[in-house]
Amino acid sequence: MRVVVLGLCTAMVLVVRVAGAQMPLPASKPPDGATLFKQQCAVCHTLSLSEPMRQGPPLVKVVGRPAGKVEGFHYSDGLAKADFTWDETRLDAWLADPQAVIPGVIMIYRQAKPETRAAIIAFLKEQH
């Protein structure tokens, strides 16, 4: 009987020690730009000039494109008069707060997380 009790006590001590040890958390995956685009952008934007336009202009080849210049899309006055080219910095500011970039624009989406904005922008850069 003593051997069984001693064995149980040893096993309990081992369980307590293992339970108290710090288990490393699995590394989190970086956000997937394609998935984020589908979830957060594709409601209003396409990635094709041949698809019917939605509420927002198509975003294929947006990086390096002059702002407010997709033929056939009706832009707000501010965007239609914009005098800049979309680059990573401008897109990051735009996704964080479009109204701060061009007051009066219609786009209401805002993304507070820099890593989410970066993943979406990286995905858009690939769409050439």
pLDDT at 98: 97
In CATH, which superfamily holds the domain spanning 29-125? Cytochrome c-like domain (1.10.760.10)
> How sure is the predictor about 31, in pLDDT bands with cuts at 50, 70 and 90?
confident
Give 50's DSSP letter.
Answer: S
Residue 2 has pLDDT above 70, yes or no: no
Domain borders along the chain are: 29-125
Helix axes 114-125, 88-96, angle to 10 degrees: 130
Q: What does the pLDDT look like over 44-98, one tens digit per residue?
A: 999 998 999 999 999 999 999 999 999 999 999 999 999 999 999 999 999 999 9
Task: For residue 57, give the nearest of 36, 40, 37, 72 by alpha carbon.
Answer: 72
pLDDT at 8: 47
**Mean of all residue pLDDT scores within the chain:** 86
